[in-house]
Amino acid sequence: MKYERIYNFSAGPATMPEPVLEEIRDEMMNYKGSGMCVMEMSHRSKVYQQIIDEAEQDLRDLMHIPDNYKVLFIQGGATLQFAMIPMNLMKNGVACYVETGAWSKKAINEAKKYGEIHVVASSKDRNYSYIPDCSDLDIPENADYVYICENETIHGVTWPTLPNTKGHVLVSDQSSMFLSRPCNVSDYGMIYAGVQKNVGPAGMVVAIIREDLIRDGLDPKVPLYLSYKTHADNGSMYNTPNCWAIYVCGKVFKYLKSTGGLEAMEKRNIEKAQILYDFLDSSKMFHGTVDKAFRSLMNVPFVTANAELDAQVIAATKAAGYDNLKGHKSVGGLRASIYNAMPKEGVAALVEFLKTFEAENG
């Protein structure tokens, strides 16, 4: 490989499409004749305004975002949204959450500071290895929204169908699956994603919010910066935005458009994940930790029979150029994050390596 790059299975920040990195490299010293790098530019300049406008438009094109939804670029990562969502969307001070893993649990704990939280379903009983039945949830009439984490990055579970919210607003954390497949935006009141999993550099969230949910009249102690209205009224530039992340994400949006959009991306992601899941289903040494119906296409946790062998495999993969495969401590074992930018060849090569490891050590 030109730059001796490895296959990086990190859960985030994570691998990026190489053509995007190459474009950024080429534009580093002089962005399109401006004589400057994008990180040196005023966010109020015409040249930067075009970057942010195009990023938003390309995302709108990719996801077919309806006109009555705002697209916001906000700093603070996905974690800040755990607080901004209840601060902004609670009118009655009541919300429902589905607990499906580490990230929804964090969101629940934060939201509890702001109102009455109903955990209407949970998969905690089996260490978050499935999505609970959400076809008939007990949702109070005055609930302001129903919150889900649509792909649990640590536990590797994903929602095959959305919950029945009984007419209430659905809010979804799509951080680790954003743009991995087509998405019907109008099924949601709000979608948000920390971009360092499947799109770009760390430190920014893309929030897609239905306009009627963006409002005045928040608690006067809510900082201006934490009101969606502040960001919406100022085109995501109330203050200096994360200029660099917006620039890089914009490149990734264009790249996805040029490679067939989200339909094509989903097809590649299914093929790619299938290679790994087929291996896990046939292996005697390794097995997946998630019930088949809820397996993520993006984050694949798997284990051997014991922690010692897990550690041995992780060390061996790392030495062979497959990095960041150690699972999160709450699940143990290994986890392969195989986001949009992970090529099929990377997954196939990892599977070949694991097969050989099994044959030699089984």
List of residues contacting ligand PLP (CB under 6 A): 12, 77-79, 103, 149, 153, 173, 175-176, 194, 197
3-state percent helix, strand, coil for the chain, nearest multiple of 5: 40, 15, 45
Please say which residue, 103 or 114, places its beta carbon nearer to ligand PLP. 103
Phi, psi dihedral angles at 43 (to 5 degrees): -70, -10
Nearer to ligand PLP, 105 or 168 (CB): 105
Closest separation in Å from C-beta 85 to ligand PLP: 12
Query: Whose CA is closest to 336, among 280, 254, 294?
Result: 280
Cβ proximity to ligand PLP: between 180 and 304 the closer is: 180
Give the closest residue to 74 by CA, choosing from 176, 199, 177, 203: 203
Q: Smallest gap, in angstroms, from Cβ of residue 267 to ligand PLP?
A: 23
**Which three-class secondary structure string do you get for 78-92?**
HHHHHHHHHHHHCCC
Are 179 and 63 spatial neighbours (Cβ–Cβ below 8 Å)? yes
| DSSP letter for each residue of 236-299 | T-SS---HHHHHHHHHHHHHHHHTTHHHHHHHHHHHHHHHHHHHHHH-SS-EESS-GGGB-SSE
Query: Least distance from C-beta 310 to ligand PLP, angstroms?
Result: 22
> With contact defined as beta carbons under 8 Å apart, do 107 and 97 qualify?
yes
- Active-site residue, from 70, 103, 251, 310: 103
Nearest to ligand PLP of 199, 285 (CB atom): 199
With H, G, I as helix, E, B as strand and everything else as coil, classify residue 323. Answer: strand
Minimal CB distance residue for ligand PLP:
77
Name the residue nearer to ligand PLP (CB basis): 131 or 149: 149
- Coil, strand or helix: which one is 300? strand
* Annotated catalytic residue 173: yes
Query: Residue 5 Cβ, how far from ligand PLP at the closest point, in Å?
Result: 23
Whether a cis peptide bond, with omega within 30° of 0, leads into 13 is yes
C-beta neighbour count of 354 within 10 angstroms? 24
For 134, 193, 198, 301, 319, the CA distances from 297, given in Å and listed in that order, are 21, 16, 12, 11, 25
| Least distance between ligand PLP and beta carbon 71 (Å) | 18
Q: Which is nearer to ligand PLP, 194 or 288 (CB)?
A: 194
Q: Which of 58, 173, 310, 326 is catalytic?
A: 173
The H or E element that residue 346 is part of is helix 344-361
CB of 153 to ligand PLP, least distance (A): 3
Residues 6 or more apart whose CB falls under 8 angstroms from that of 249 comprise: 55, 59, 73, 195, 199, 200, 204, 206
Q: How far is the CB of 245 from ligand PLP (least distance, A)?
A: 11
Return the number of the residue (127 or 312) whose C-beta is nearest ligand PLP.
Answer: 127
Judge whether 103 counts as a catalytic residue. yes
Of the residues 70, 105, 197, 326, only one is catalytic, namely 197
Catalytic site residues? 103, 173, 197
